[in-house]
Amino acid sequence: MPLALLALALGAFAIGTTEFAVVGLLPDIASGYHVPIPTAGLLVSGYALGVLIGAPIMTGLGTRVSRKRMLLISMLLLVAGNVLSALAPVFGLLLTGRIVASLAHGAFFGIGSIVAGTLVSPDRRAGAISLMFTGLTVATVLGVPLGTLLGQHFGWRITFWLIAAVGLVATVGVAALVPDQAAPREARLRSELAVLANPQVLLAMAMTVLGFGGVFAAITYLAPMMTEVTGYAESSVTWIMVLFGLGFLIGNLIGGRYADRHLMPMLYLTLGTLTVVLGVFTLTAHDKITAAITVVLIGALGFATVPPLQKRVLDQAAGAPTLASALNIGAFNLGNALAAWLGGLVIAAGFGYTAPNRVGVVLSGSALGLAVLSGALERRSTAQVTPEPEPLAAVAD
C-alpha cells in the first residue's frame, strides 16, 4: 500500500477524534460555560448537521479544483475549527468551531475514498479505502479515550489543541505524499448531480443510512444501558467504548478485505448478522460478559459494512463519483442522527434503555431488504443487456 494512504489515514484519525472526543467532555464543557447538558449536546448534533449539509456544498465547490487541493482545504478547515473551539470564550463560538471543523468531514472522506482507490489496482480498491478508514477506527480506540482522559485532567481545551496539532501533521503528509490529481473533465457539478438519478446509487446511500443507523440506535444510549441495565459502574463505560472501537477496527479490516472479492454477499452477511445481534442485545444486555461481547460484535459488524457501502457508491457512480462519495459520508451521519432521535423516542415512551436495540433491528433489517433489492435489480439489468446466444448454423451436407 502506498505511503499516501497513511497520510489519508492520519487525516481520518484527526477527523474521527474531532467527531467523538467531545462526547466524553460534555459535562466539563457544560460546567465551564454554565449551560445544561442538553445544551452542550448541541456540539454533537451540530457537528452531524454540519457534515450532512457541508458534504455536498464543499464537494460542489470543489468540482473544478484538484482532489489534492480539496483534501488540503478540508484539513485546514479541521485545524481552524479545532483552534477556534480551543480559544472560544463563549459557548456560541465553540459551537461555531465545531461546525467549521465538520465541513472537512464529508469532503475529506468522500474525496479521500476516491483518491485511495486510484492509488492501487482496481482489485484492491476496497482494501485501500479500508486502510484510510482505519484512521477513523483507531480514533475510536485510541484518540477518543485519550482525548477524554487528557481533557478531564488538564482541561477540555487541551483536547482541541492536540487534535489541531494532529491535523497539521496530516496536512503536511497529504501535501508531501498524495499525488496531485487534476479534476477530471467529467467532474463538473451537472455531471455529479446527474449521477444521483441512478437508482443503485440512491439505494446504496439508503443502505448506509439504515445500516449504520442500526448500529447507532444501540450505541448512542450505550452508557445508560450499561449502568442501569447491565450493572457496570460509570467508570467502566470508557472501557466499554474501547471495546466498541476494537470492534470497529476488526470490522473495517474484514470489510475491506472481502468487499473486493464478494461485495454484495458481504453486505448480505454483515447486515443480516447485525440485525440478529441487535435483537439478541436486548437479552445479553442483562449480563456483563455477554453484553461486552455483543458490543464488540455490533462494532465489528457495523463497520464491516463501511468499505463495501462506500465502494458500492463509487462503482455505481463511476462516471462522476465525487459528490456521490461525499453524500454517502453524509448519509452515515444522517443515520446516526435518525437513530439517536428514534432511540430517544422509545426511551421517553417508557420502553426502557434496551428499547433502542429494537429500533436498530428495524433499521438494519430494512437495510438488508434494500441490499437484496439492489442485488436483484442488478442481476435483472445484467440479464437484459446480455445477448442471447445465436443458434448454431446447420451443417451442410
* Shared-domain flag, residues 87 and 224: no
Of 137, 158, 183, the last residue of a domain is 183
The residue written with cell numbers 455531471 in the block is 191
Contact 140, 252 (CB under 8 A): no
Number of domains the chain is built from: 2
- The answer to whether residue 117 is domain-embedded is yes
Q: Residue 210 is part of a domain; what is its CATH number?
A: 1.20.1250.20
* Residue (of 217, 211, 216) closest to 267 by Cα position: 211
CA distance 90 to 97: 11
* Shared-domain flag, residues 167 and 258: no
* Residue (of 304, 328, 302, 301) closest to 314 by Cα position: 328
* Shared-domain flag, residues 197 and 314: yes
- How does pLDDT run along the chain (397 residues), one tens digit per residue? 678 899 999 999 999 999 878 877 777 888 889 988 667 777 877 887 888 888 778 877 766 778 888 899 999 999 999 999 999 999 999 999 999 999 988 888 878 888 888 888 777 777 787 788 788 878 878 887 788 788 878 999 999 999 999 999 999 999 999 888 665 554 455 666 677 778 888 898 999 999 988 998 888 778 788 888 999 887 787 788 788 888 888 888 888 777 777 888 989 999 999 999 999 999 999 999 999 999 999 999 988 888 888 788 878 876 667 777 778 878 888 887 788 778 888 888 889 889 989 999 999 999 999 999 999 988 887 776 555 555 544 444 4
Query: 25 lies in which domain range?
Result: 1-183
- The answer to whether residue 389 is domain-embedded is no
Chain centre to alpha carbon of residue 138: 13
* Shared-domain flag, residues 172 and 194: no
* Shared-domain flag, residues 166 and 190: no
* Shared-domain flag, residues 177 and 285: no
* Shared-domain flag, residues 213 and 80: no
- Would you call 196 helix, strand, or coil by DSSP? coil
- The answer to whether residue 16 is domain-embedded is yes
- The answer to whether residue 324 is domain-embedded is yes
Of 134, 164, 183, the last residue of a domain is 183
Single pTM value for the model: 0.75
Of 166, 183, 200, the last residue of a domain is 183
